[in-house]
Structure formats: structure tokens, C-alpha cells
Structure 1
Amino acid sequence: MRAVDLFAGAGGFSTGATMAGCSVVWAANHWPLAVQFHEANHPGAQHVCQDLHQANWSRVPAHDLLLASPCCQGHSKARGKSAGNPQHDESRSTAWAVVSALEFHRPSAAVIENVPEFLDWALYPAWSAAMEALGYSLSPHVIDAAEHGVPQHRVRMFIVATRSRAPIELNLQPREHVPATSFVDFSAGRWSLVDKPGRAAATLERVRNGRRCHGDRFLSAYYGNERGGRSMHRPIGTITTRDRWAVVDGERMRMLSAQECRAAMGFPAEYVLPTQHREAVHLLGNAVCPPVARDVINALRAAI
């Protein structure tokens, strides 16, 4: 099965497709850094760096499966979608590039990934009607990455679009949860004292709460709702585009490394990332977890 990857980012969708036995023949993103590292990890695909609203779809190779992760910031509650930010309107509009690509190529199937709030978008009825007008039946699946062997609770929505009379419900078998202990390396990283001068009072309070709940070793979030810490013996919470998770070990603590974030997302250990930590974390926080993409694509292939 030949696949193309729109809004390819770090390459999680492409990596999952490759795990499922697909050949990724084309990938595009508007961010040069993302294209650079997608190409480093998927050298066999053609790469384009551009705004996909302006794509020339005639230059895209023939394919059987279209993968797409339109911008999610305008839908996500975490980014304040109701705040009237015009950038969110612009980000939501990226979903129309999927319709444009499908109108030209009409592959047999597509999988579109986003946050579950995508289904609440004011224009979702119009978007889904456009997809249906092209002959696609839509089947949304809300999936937690932890159910697919990823050591992270990450809930995302995958819309399966097929040229079939009725929507296809995937038979997705849950896998055993993998704990955070699988990727945290206590012998690595740059540690500092928990109670060091200048440490924020809110951080110290989170650490105290974590100790009461989990003992000496646990994960602590710098923002979000994890005020009591998180056990190392369960999957970590969502990896985001900026540093969120600290590892606490007795009287010392540190942020997760980019390599640990890579493992928490389910990418292979050899997957090439930017050397700058901030860039690597940003790419990973926007990515699709490869094992989830693998399982979705395998279930889709079994169903069609």
C-alpha cells in the first residue's frame, strides 16, 4: 500500500505506516525543520515544504492511502479555542487541504488525526459533507495511545474515511499498558536539587504532593492538572510541545530528556531528532504516536 503524509511533522504517521508495511511515497509540511527531519528519517519519500492550501496535487504520486494531521491548536481546549484568536481560525482551515487532496486523487482510504474536539468544530458538518460528496464514508475513532503499547496516555481522534457504502468500524484490540519506568533513565540527565534557591513555590507544592502519593520516585507536571504527581508504574500523561514533565528522585529532579520523550511517544530509539532540545520536544509534542498509527492502519487494511 502506497501512502502520502500531509502535515507530516516529525513523521509519526509515516513511521507507523512503515511499521504496518506501507510505502510512504510523499510527505509535506510547512515548517522547514519538520521537513528536514522527516526526510532524514524517511529518505525514500518525496518531500515538499509549503503551505498545503497552495499545493499542486498533480505533483503528488499516486497512492492508496492518505494520512493527514491538520493543525489541532484551533480545536484543542489547552490552547483556548474560544478566545477569539484569529490564528486559531487559520489553523482550523488546514483541514480543507485534506478535502482538496482527496478530490484530486480519490485514494481508496484516508486517515485523519486530530484532537477529539475536532468533531465540535462549527464547520465540521460542512467538512464532513464535503468528504461525503467525494464518496467517502467517515468513521471517527477516539483512541488512547496507552491502549496500543505506548507508555503515554494521549487521547486523539482518528477519522477513517473509506470509499465504501457505510462507515468502517475498526477492530482495535487493546494492548497491555506500558509504564513510564520503561523509558526513564535515572542514571542520565542533568539533575538539580528539588529545594534549590529560586524554585517556584507551586513546583515545590507539587513535589510535596507527589511524595505523599507516590514515595520518592515519581513524575511531576510543571503545568496542567497533575497536581499530585504521577506514578512511574503507569503510562505518563500527554507529551506536549514544550517541557512539561519532571522526574523526581528523592531530593533531586530534572526534566525529561528529548530521548525519553521520543520513547514516551513510541518512536524507535534510532529515530533522528534535532540536537536542540527545545526543537526536538516541539516536534515530538505535535506528532502522532507511531504504534497507534500502525494499529489503525493494520485494522483498516484488514477491514477493506
Structure 2
Amino acid sequence: MRVVELFSGAGGMSLGLKQSGFEIVQAYDAWPVAVANYNRNVGHHAKVADLGETLGIVPELLKLAPDIICGGPPCQDYSSAGRREEADNARLTLAFAVLVATVRPAWFLMENVVNAMKSETWAQARSILKASGYGLTECKIDASRYGVPQARRRLIVVGRIGERDGFLASSIAAAAAPQPMTLRDLFGATTPAAMYFPATSEARRSIWSPDEPAPTIRERSIRPLPVSYQPHPDDAALIANGYIYSRPVRAGRGVRSIDEPFPTMTRTAWERPTPRYLGSPHPADPVAASETAVLTIPQISRIQGFPIWWKWETSAKRDMLQMIANAVPPPVAAAIGCAILDREAGRSIPEVQGGFLQWLVRRGRSRPSARNVKSLAGRARRLLRGRTFDILALEIAALEGVAEFQAMRKTTQSDLRQALRLLAEYQASRGQKHRKQRQASAQPSANLAEAA
């Protein structure tokens, strides 16, 4: 699938999608420093562009004809670390929706902070995308379950033309790890992220990351990691200390153990505790903030999911940290990308919710009969290779066009059609309930509370 990324930053999302199997054809961002780092590390796909000027970029996007448009519009106006007032940055979420609706790729992927979900701007953007025919999956995820040791909660929105809302939710949930990733998992000496290729001279290195190209393979050049292998001294010091400090947001805890995820990465993650914090620490801090380890920029980059070979180049440390904090963690993008590719290829199907069975029972069916209908609905979805349709008539017509369906007995065909009709009725009732809940919880974005 061909990808165009908007608001690409330094390329975290592009890297993750590329690793999962997408073809990156173009990326755009307004910050020249981020674009330069993108092109140095991901590939020469990125260019500087003001995406707020939507008319200027539309002809180029139409010519590129991507299968999917992705991006993470600026989140500062929604972020719990910011003022949470919807202004110019928030309107770029609207620009993202307008560009997607105009170009109409088969898919889109958007990342933002969870507070955006309750914003007036997202409500407007959502209406535009729905009017353009997209089914939407809106998920709140924790990045520590998707490959990075960081309790980074984010809104992921995936859209596909013609689908029912929620069509990819079960696949995204299934991609989550059962346990959060911790800092020890990343930096621990017992599981070094390294491979050993003996160097041909003392001037060359022998330890390589699994996330970078290996050196030229020569006869007997692959060896087990030597017993004498030692992790980087900074990583070893972090493990030995056992605690790190992260500047708290909105009176949160400042000290974390390495046996838990880091909090959401911000530009200030490297800063040491202020005298004010040292004099009035959070009561839940396990040790004094002054006794914690100091994170290096390479460690901060790896906590955000960037591979060890990634090279940050800028004249200002502040800019480097801003690029890291703004990025979509590549492992998160890779996990979502795999879910999209699996559905595109028909390798996954939407899970039939457990509530469907209870709904059937409340309507008078026996439990065995309800289980049979649920099983038939799953079978129909497998025949459709995971596709759902926002219009029931199209879904049934697509089912009837499947050769395997046409070879079935008439009674089985009828049962499969009926199962899809009942499932559509159930989903419509759930959708109406969710719409009422969204309307009831709507409030001015300036007064948004942190999403639960």
C-alpha cells in the first residue's frame, strides 16, 4: 500500500509503517529541521509544506494517488501538558480531514492525544470524514502495550471507505501486549538488543542492533554474543540505579522505577528536578528525585521507539528533544500498520462482539440459537475477507458475489444473510447509543478534563 504522510515530523510514523510493509511515497511537514532529519533517516520522501493551506497541496496529493493518508496533526491545543484551548494547531486537525475527504484514499490513519476525541474540532473533522463515506475506528491506546516502554495514551483513528464504524477495533486490541513494556525490558542487560559480527579490524565495531543493516556477511562471521558483552555504560548505570526522574505534568509523580513504563515523553524529559520539586516531592515517589539516574538523549530517543542507529542532527538540543517528543513511536505505527495490512489482505476479520449474543437472547432466542447466529455472522465475515459495509444491501450483495457462498445450499445462504441482517441491526442500536453518549459528553474544549 502506498502511503502519504501529513504532519510527518521527523518520521516516526513513516518509519513504523515502512517496517510493517508499506511503501512511503511522500511526506510533508512545516518544520525544515524535522524534514531534514526525516530525509536523513527514513528516506528522501519528505518536503517542507504548510498544510494549513489545503488548496495548495491538493493537486499534488491527487497526482500521488495514495492508498492511505496518515499523520499526527499538532496536538498542543488538546494536550494535558498545554493550555487546552482550541486555536491554530487544533484547526490543522480539520485540515487533515479536509485533505483526506478531498483526495479520498481507500484508508487513512490519524494519531493525536486522547483529549482531541472530545474537542469541537474533532467533532467537525469527524463529520467531514463521515460525509465522505469513511467508516471510522476510534481507539484510545497505551503505547506501552505496543512496543515502547512509555505510558503514552493516544487516540488512534483508522478510516476506510464504505466500512462500518469500529471495523478495525478488535484487531487493534488484539495487537496489544498482555503486559506493559518497562524500562528494564528496553535497557536490561539480560536481554541485550545486540548481535555479534566479529569485526575485520580494530577500527570497526562488532556489536550491531537488530534494527539496522548488518555488515557484509563473511565466512564464519556470525557468532554467539560473547559472555563478556556489556551493555552501554549509560544503560548499565540506569539499570543499576533503578529509578529515573521525569518532570511531572499537572502535579503528577516525578520519580519512576525502571520496572514500569516511562510517562509520556515530553521535550523536558531530560531536565533534573527543580529546587521547588525537591522541597515538595510527590508523596508517592519511591526515592528522592535527587537520587535518580539521568537520561541521555540516545536513551530518550529509544524510549520513544527510535532504533539505536537513528541519527539526530540539529544545532539546538531543544529542537532535538522537541522532534523526539512530537513523534509517533515507530513500534506503535508498525503495530497499527500490520493491523491495516492484514485487513486489506483479508487475513483478519472483525470480531463479532459478545454483546451480540446477549442482544439475541433478549430478543427471545434460545442461547444455542443465539450462539449459532453469532457463529454464522463470523462465517459470513470470513467469506467477505474481513470487509464490512456501512450499507447492509451492499454487504449482502458482496456476500452473494463470493464463489464459495454461491456453492452453498440455499438454506445455508439464507441463514448467512439473516445473520448479517441481525448483526447490522445490533450494530445500529449500539451506534445510536454511542452517538447519544458523545452528544451528552460534548463540552467546550477549553474545559476538557483528562480522558479516563
TM-score range, shorter chain: 0.7 to 0.9
Point out the structure with the larger strand share: 1
1:222 aligns with 2:247: yes
1:126 aligns with 2:102: no
Contact 1:217/1:249, CA 8 A, preserved across alignment: no
Task: Specify the structure having the higher radius of gyration (Cα).
Answer: 2
In the alignment, what sits opposite 1:96? 94
In the alignment, what sits opposite 2:320? 280
Unpaired segments of 5 or more residues in structure 2? Answer: 189-230, 274-286, 345-452
Unpaired segments of 5 or more residues in structure 1? Answer: 83-87, 192-214
Shift of 1:107: 0.7
Secondary structure at the aligned position of 1:79 is classed as: coil
Shift of 1:132: 1.0
Secondary structure at the aligned position of 2:258 is classed as: coil
CA root-mean-square deviation? 2.6
Contact 2:248/2:254, CA 8 A, preserved across alignment: no
Shift of 1:35: 0.7
Partner Cα distance (1:62, 1:252) in 2? 54
Q: Deviations over 1:180-226 (max 9, x none)?
A: 1323878239x9xxxxxxxxxxxxxxxxxxxxxxx953112233344
1:151 aligns with 2:177: no
Contact 2:243/2:292, CA 8 A, preserved across alignment: no
Secondary structure at the aligned position of 2:180 is classed as: coil
**CA separation of 1:63 and 1:231: change in aligned 2, threshold 3 A:** same
Q: Deviations over 1:80-99 (max 9, x none)?
A: 214xxxxx410100012212
Shift of 1:39: 1.1
Point out the structure with the larger helix share: 2
Partner Cα distance (1:249, 1:125) in 2? 43
Partner Cα distance (1:268, 1:120) in 2? 33
Contact 1:150/1:266, CA 8 A, preserved across alignment: yes
TM-score w.r.t. the length of structure 1 is 0.82
| Structure 2 counterpart of 1:51, one-letter code | D
| Structure 2 counterpart of 1:74, one-letter code | D
Once the two structures are overlaid, the 10-residue window that deviates more, 177-186 or 2-11, is: 177-186
Match of 1:75 among 70, 74, 78: 78
Match of 2:233 among 179, 187, 192: 187
In the alignment, what sits opposite 1:298? 338
1:262 aligns with 2:314: no
Q: Deviations over 1:84-122 (max 9, x none)?
A: xxxx41010001221232233211100110001111112
In the alignment, what sits opposite 1:236? 262
Partner Cα distance (1:270, 1:216) in 2? 25
Contact 1:220/1:226, CA 8 A, preserved across alignment: no
Q: Deviations over 1:51-80 (max 9, x none)?
A: 102232212322101111111011112202
| Structure 1 counterpart of 2:84, one-letter code | K
Partner Cα distance (1:128, 1:230) in 2? 37
Partner Cα distance (2:158, 2:14) in 1? 16
In the alignment, what sits opposite 2:52? 53
Secondary structure at the aligned position of 2:312 is classed as: coil
Contact 2:245/2:293, CA 8 A, preserved across alignment: no
In the alignment, what sits opposite 2:110? 112
Over the matched positions of the two proteins, sequence identity in percent amounts to 26
| Structure 1 counterpart of 2:47, one-letter code | V
